[in-house]
A and B are shown apart, each in its own frame.
Chain A
C-alpha cells in the first residue's frame, strides 16, 4: 500500500532520481566545514524559542502596574514590554529558560558566523566562483548583528534603554539626514512611544524572514557550486572527496544539531543572562553604568569610547563626534568586507575560478592582513569594557583608555608583521606544523 503510493508519487514527480542524487551528494569531511552549520542550527533554535517568546511578549511602551512575583517591583508602574518580560521570567512556566536559551543562541549564532567568516577568509574560499555566497554571508552577519541589537532592546529595561539612547545619538550624528532619520525611526523625540512596537516587527518578522531566505540561497548556491576542499591526495579542482549525505554526513550533521541544542540548553538552564529584574525598568532620566552592549556590538562601543572628543568639520558642517566611530567605521568595515573578493582578485590579478582551498601559509599577505584586522577589532572590543578593566586593576579609566588608543593603532601592524614572517617561514621550510618548523625559517625566510 505504502509502496504503491510511493511509486505513484515517483511516476508523477520523478522524485526518486532527485532524491537519490541528493542523498549521494558528497560532503568533504574536514571539521572546519561544519562551523557554518553551527550558525545554521543556532538560528533554528532562535526561531523555535523566539516563537515561544512572541506568544508572551507585548511590544508596547504603555504603562501598567506590575503585579508579578518579583517583590521589589510589585505595584510599580512599568511599560507593558518590561512587564511581559518580567512575567516571562518569573511567572510563565519555562519562560525564563526559553528567554535565556534564546539569548545564548543569539550570542552563539553571531559568534559562529564570525568564526565561519574567518575560515572562509583565511582559506580563500571566497574566490571565484563563490563571491556571491561571500556577499550573502556578509549580509547574514550584518542582519544577525542588527537583529541581535533589536532583540536586546525589546525588554525595555534600563540597560537596553541606555543602548537605545546611544543608538539614537548615533542616528542623530549622521550629517544632514540624521535628525530626520532619528525622528522617523523612533517616531518622535527620544524616548519615543513607537520604538518598541517597531523594533518588534523588525525583530520577529522582517529580519528573520530575510535571514531565512538568505540562508536558503546560501545553501542552494553551495549545493550548486560543489564544495571546496583542501588540496591533498586525490583531491582536484573538479572532484569532492568525503562522505555521502546519506547516511554518513546526515548523521554527523544531526549530531551537530543536537550538540548545538544541548549547549544552548545547558547555558540557558545553568548560566544567567540579561537579568532585567536587576537592571530595572527603563526610565528616561536614569542611566546605569557600567553599561556594555552584547559582545557583537562591543567593537562599535569600544570605538565610541576610544574616539577623542574632536570636533571635526567637513563640507562646512559640524559633524557630531559619534559619527566617525559609530557610522563611518562600521560603514567602512562592511564595505571592505563586501568588496574583499573583488579587491583581492584585483591585487593578485587572479581571475581564475578556484575549488581547492589555500592554507593560511599559502597566502602570507592575506593571512597577515586578516590577522591584523582581527586584532584591530578585538582591541576595540576590549576597549568597550575600559571601565570594568579600570575597576579590576584599580587604575584610572583614562589610563586604560590611553593604553587602548595606543594598542588599537600599534598592535595590528605588529601582529600582522609577526604573522607574515611566520607564514613565510612555514612556507619556506616546508614544515607541516609550527612545531616542526626550524626557528631559522622564521628569522631568515629567504635563506
Chain B
C-alpha cells in the first residue's frame, strides 16, 4: 500500500539522517611500525602515529593538513595532544576531546619535534592568573565566546552553512559543527584554544587581546567550571528546555498523579 511505503520512506529518511556519522572507507594503519627500545623520542612517536596523515615532514597529505602554515606552532600541537584530539584513527573522524594518548613527557617531545619542521604559529602561552580579573573575564567572555560556547560554558551546535571550515577536506560531506563544553579544559588549553583557533573556532590572539585580557578570560572560563551556583540542582546548564522538561514530568506529572489519587476513577476511566 502506498501509505505504508510513505511511512517506511519517512522512517528510512529519519534513520539514515541519524546515522550521519562517518565510517572509515578503508581502515588505515601507520606506515611505519614502532621499533622496540627506541624510547619516547618525539621523532619516533610522530613518525609512527602522525606522519602517515600529516606527512613525514609535517607538510600534509590527503589524509591530514600541513602543520607548517596558519596558526600551527607549539601551542596548537600541544593543545591537540593534551586534549586527546590527535591522533585520529582515520581522517574522517570527528575531532573532539578524549583521553590523551601520551603522557606529558611524550607530548613535550612531540611538540618539540613538530616545531623543528619550522612552524611559525604561537608558542605554548605563559599564564599569569593572579593578575587576571574575573569581572573583565566575564565581560569579554560574554562578548566573544558566549555566542558559541553559551553563557554557562555548556557549548552548543553551530550552523554548518556553506562555510564548512577545515573539516570539509577530509570528510566527504560537511560534518556537525559543534562548539564543545569548556568544563574540562585546563587553563593552558583554554589559552591555546584562543590563540590558535582550532577547527572552526576563530583566532583570538594578541592582535585581539592583550595578555592580561587573555588571562582574564581564562580565569572566567575556569570559574565557569565551578561557579558560585545557587538554587539547587542545575539542570544541565542548557536553560529553559531542561526546565520545561522538569516542569512537565516532575511538576505536572506529580500533580496529576495526586489529583488522580484524590479523585475517583469511577465510571469511564
Contact = CB atoms under 8 A, between A and B. Distances in A.
A387 B156 contact: yes
Contacts, number: 251
Q: How large is the interface on B (under 10, 10 to 19, 20 to 34, 35 or more residues)?
A: 35 or more
A138 interface: no
Contacts of A398: 159-161
Contact of A100 (B94, B155, B231): B231
Contacts of B231: 89, 96-97, 100, 271-273, 275
Nearest to A258: B258
Contacts of B24: none
Given A29-B263, A107-B247, A397-B160, A388 B146 contact: no
A34 B147 contact: no
B134 to A, nearest CB: 5
B37 interface: no
Nearest to A264: B251
A96 B252 CA distance: 22
Contact of B258 (A100, A108, A256, A407): A256
Contact of B138 (A96, A280, A385, A402): A280
Contacts of A406: 10, 13-14
B177 interface: yes
Given A71-B228, A399-B20, A76 B138 contact: yes
Given A35-B259, A280-B142, A397-B160, A231 B268 contact: yes
Contacts of A385: 241
A104 B251 contact: yes
B161 to A, nearest CB: 8
Interface in B148-165: 148, 150-152, 154-161
A189 to B, nearest CB: 21
Contacts of B161: 398
Interface in A371-428: 384-385, 387-388, 390-391, 393-399, 402-403, 406-407, 410, 414
A90 B259 contact: no
B156 A292 contact: no
A107 B142 contact: no
Nearest to A301: B240
B199 to A, nearest CB: 14
B263 A72 contact: no
Interface string A12-54: 0000000000000000011111110110000000000000000
A289 B158 CA distance: 9
Contacts of B152: 275, 278-279
Interface string A242-259: 000000000010011001
A414 B252 CA distance: 27
Interface in B113-150: 134-135, 137-139, 142-143, 146-148, 150
A288 B149 CA distance: 8
B241 to A, nearest CB: 5
B263 A278 contact: no
Contact of B157 (A73, A76, A387): A387
B266 A30 contact: yes
A74 B240 contact: no
B235 A286 contact: no
Contacts of A387: 156-158
A74 B138 CA distance: 11
B223 interface: yes
A272 B232 contact: yes
Given A235-B267, A256-B259, A267 B143 contact: no
B160 to A, nearest CB: 5
A31 B258 CA distance: 9
A225 to B, nearest CB: 20
A285 interface: yes
A277 B138 CA distance: 11
A275 B229 contact: yes
Interface in A47-78: 70-76
A139 interface: no
B267 A107 contact: no
Nearest to B146: A288
B224 to A, nearest CB: 8
Contacts of A232: 266-268
A263 B268 contact: no
A200 interface: no
B230 A286 contact: no
A275 B146 contact: no
Contacts of A432: 269
A378 to B, nearest CB: 11
Contact of B151 (A37, A108, A263, A288): A288
A48 B75 CA distance: 56
24 contacts: A31-B265, A71-B134, A76-B135, A100-B232, A103-B243, A108-B247, A231-B267, A263-B254, A271-B233, A271-B235, A271-B250, A272-B230, A274-B243, A285-B143, A286-B146, A289-B148, A289-B150, A294-B240, A295-B248, A384-B241, A390-B178, A391-B155, A391-B157, A398-B160
Given A252-B263, A263-B255, 5 more contacts: A31-B265, A72-B223, A286-B142, A397-B160, A406-B14
